[in-house]
Amino acid sequence: MTEAFVAAAPNYGVIVGADRLEFPEDIVVIVQADRAQLAQAVRRLGGVRALAAPTITADFFDGLQVAEQAQWVDELAGRTTYTDNPDPGYVTLLDTGVSRAHPLIQPALSVDDRHAANPAWGLEDVKGHGTEMGGLALFGDLTPKLHQANPVSVMNRLESVKLLPDAGVNPHHLLGAVTRQGINTVEQVGPRRRTFTMTTTTGEDTPHDGAPTSWSTEVDQLAAGVSGDIKQQRLMLVSAGNTDNFTFGAGNYLDRCDHEDNEIESPAQAWNVVSVGAFTEKTVLPDGEPVQALAPFGDLSPASRTASWSSHWPNKPDVVLEGGNWALSAMPPPMRHGWLSLLSTHRNYPLRSFTFTFDTSAATALAAKDVTELWSDYPTLWPETVRGLYVSSARWTQQMRAHLPAQPNKGHYAPLFQRYGFGVPDMARARRSASNALTLIVEDTITPYGLSEKTGDDVHNEMKLFALPWPVEALRALGNADVTLRVALSSFIAPNPSEASRGVRYRYASHNLRFQLNRADEKEAQFLARISKVAEQPDGPASDEDDLWDYGSNRRHVGSLHIDQLTCKASDLARRNLLAVHPVTGWWKSKKLLAEGLPSVRYALIVEIDADEVQAELYAEVQVAVDALIAARGVIAV
């Protein structure tokens, strides 16, 4: 009943928040609507037992006395179970350290799993930031967990790497080296499924306008597995950086967030990482407060930095998660407020149990929780694939889309990408297929460049062509009903760290891959001929096929994660079953380099079909075809 209400409520102007409070007989959700909208939704949809204004927030728990806070901790700990998975997923926090004194953290953080990038630093969390992130990475926002009555399962474990000294800062020129040393240190423990989570950034590289810096380049190398003592691909999350509230005036807060001097901080522009910004659904303040929430429900958190660039370099941030809101009084600047914050674990337990937390750091810790749980669901997937699944699951909220005109063209999407990336991730969408929505995953390798046997010149060497196992009969049965196709292509590039290459994306990336879909009734030979022209002119005019995609080549053909979607008639999609992955130029395309060997690269291709509200048995028909393909090739999974 709850899911039916949540799914249909937006049709009545009711915006439903992501948080849930679960009780034995009820589920509580937070909604935003006016009185008339809410009354109409409740009357027509049913299933609502009661309405009430939210009263329990982070401020309530943070304001309790020491003994009362400890009682709440004991109550939550008593109904919490921690994973007994022999191969658990680890959130590896590169931060200020994590305190094991807190009862909610201790079961998930072994004594031997605390480290420091510099052996001279202690392991305790003196500043408190890392312990806050640890609580979020295990539980999420503690407020709903404390307020509900159901059992809580913690699926992740923690590793802590102190990346920041207790006093002072890391010298700017050593930021990449310190990050590498921290990762080398923790990986000495042995192989694990690690989600490396870094919630520290620098403003010293600003402005970079999206171009690589020394720190972001090293982070790209670490993710690609070409740096570090162990040469392996790594799943890495980085926060987008936070705004300074004292720079805000009385105007529209988004104008300040979008300003070019408020760009995402380094190393969040790195190509291979999941860069995390913040949005907010926290807008409720107590009656009588002489302030109001600055950001509307479902829009950008005022703390979140945005991209100053609209093309050429990767779309950043990749996703946004809850980062809290600010309160605005009659006179600026806006300030953080307990009612508009998240709640997490305090480093000084038992003196304090809870603390407010917020901004893109909190959003990144929440993303780390999600990503690690997703990877535990599918432990054999590559880091490239998990990144693609998670980011591709994201969608813009109704409030975010309200900034678009009624009939948007491709250019209108640029501000949304600059603020929100691909939007708010949806774990349910990332995790499973349903009867009217399915996801196909391909994990494969490609050798993008080679040497011509005739001329000896460097050439594009290989292209992968997939005849997708479309549910043809189910799609034809839908006829003129609209279906949405979404494609994500994820690969980790090896960066070219030489200074001269940083202003040219085709010289920064080792390789660049693209995907193309055939047109309705376009035969294979015609399709391949068209791709060959596109591959030779990566910055040339977009092909006709591009016109049906929502975002287009300017948004799709940047970075190392390419996502786009199109909506068309189901009967047309039934005839568009050829999808190609092909290279365009990169710095590996060099006769001198290729003479030493032909490098290959991994990539993940994720294809989703969504029939939305149309009842269609897409999954059942595809399953038969997929089973046959798995047996034949072993590269496609559902």
- Give the confidence band of 242 by pLDDT, cuts at 50, 70, 90: very high
Distances (CA, A) of 97 to 541, 551, 564: 50, 40, 38
Answer whether 462's CB lies under 8 Å from 447's CB.
yes
Question: Is the separation of the CB atoms in 47 and 37 below 8 Å?
Answer: no
**114: nearest Cα among 46, 189, 32, 40:** 189
> Over the chain, what is the mean pLDDT?
90
Q: Write the DSSP assignment of 268-334 as a string of letters.
A: TT-SSSEEEEEEE------TT-S-EESSPTTEE-TTB-B-S-SSSSPPS-SEEEE---EEE-SSSPP
pLDDT at 53: 60
Above 50 in pLDDT, residue 638?
no
The tens digit of pLDDT for each residue in 48-78 reads 777 766 667 899 999 999 999 999 999 999 9
Task: Measure the CA–CA gap between 290 and 46, rounded to whole angstroms.
Answer: 36
Task: Please report, rounded to a whole number, the percentage of residues in the chain having pLDDT higher than 90.
Answer: 67
Cα-to-chain-centroid distance, residue 88: 21
**pLDDT > 90? residue 365:** yes
The confidence score (pLDDT) of residue 546 equals 56
Question: What mean pLDDT is predicted for residues 390-418?
Answer: 95
In this model, does residue 630 exceed pLDDT 70?
Answer: no
- Across 307-338, b (16+ Cβ under 10 Å) vs e yields bbbbebbbbbbbbbbbbbbbbbeeebbbebbb
Q: Measured between alpha carbons, how far is 82 from 543 in angstroms, rounded to an integer?
A: 51
Closest Cα partner for 268 from 219, 224, 231? Answer: 219
The residues pairing with 82 across neighbouring beta strands, listed in sequence order, are: 154
DSSP state letter for 359: H
- What's the rounded mean pLDDT across residues 371-388? 97
Check whether 524 has a pLDDT greater than 60: yes
pTM: 0.91
Please state the φ and ψ torsions of residue 193, each to the nearest 5 degrees: -85, 100
Half-sphere exposure of 499 (CA within 13 A, CB side): 0
pLDDT value at residue 631:
65
What superfamily would CATH give domain 58-420?
Peptidase S8/S53 domain (3.40.50.200)
For residue range 266-323, list pLDDT tens digits in order.
999 999 999 999 999 999 898 888 899 999 999 999 999 999 998 789 999 999 999 9
CB-CB neighbours of 47 under 10 Å: 13
pLDDT digits (tens, 9 = 90+) for 150-208: 899 999 999 999 999 999 899 999 999 999 999 999 999 999 999 999 999 999 999 99
184's tokens: 């080398």
If we measure between CA atoms, which residue out of 618, 604, 321, 579 comes closest to residue 490? 604
- Distance CA(343)–CA(145), nearest Å, equals 10
What single-letter amino acid sits at 237? L
Whether the Cβ atoms of residue 419 and residue 306 lie closer than 8 Å to each other: yes
- DSSP characters over 435-474: TTEEEEEEEEEE--EEE-TTT--EEE---EEEE----HHH
- Among 555, 556, 553, 559, smallest CA distance to 511 is for 559
For 510-522, the DSSP string reads S-EEEEEEPPTT-
How far apart are alpha carbons 279 and 139 in whole angstroms? 19
Residue 8: Cβ-neighbour burial (10 angstroms; 0-12, 13-18, 19+): middle
